[in-house]
Amino acid sequence: MSPEAFRKRLEAAPFHPFALCLDSGRKVRVMHPELVLMPPKPNHWEIVVYEDGFDIIDLAHVESLKEIRPARGNGKRNGNK
């Protein structure tokens, strides 16, 4: 994935959380754009993602992005009346 394509996805409005699917099979969640450090150089391929620690990701190893959908409740209310 190119740095330009990643920046475009990161700056999308409204932002929707997504996972970076790496060629190793690992997935790194991007829950908010403020949790990503992307150098201002347009051709810099490494980013830093924070989620329970820091991951340094080489964008050349990103095969795809997968949107993270919010968890849904089961439609039942808690408590008895």
Q: What mean pLDDT comes out for the span 21-45?
A: 93
In a domain, residue 19? The reply is yes
Residue for token pair 């820091």: 54
Half-sphere exposure of residue 73, counting CA atoms within 13 Å on the CB side?
A: 4
Q: Tell me, what CATH number does 45's domain have?
A: 2.30.30
Does a structural domain hold residue 80? Answer: no
pLDDT at 4 over 60: yes
Give percent of the chain above pLDDT 70: 89
Determine the structural domain holding residue 49 and report its residue range: 3-67
Tokens of 48: 């830093």
pLDDT of residue 73: 65
In a domain, 41, yes or no: yes
Nearest to 59 by CA among 41, 72, 81: 41
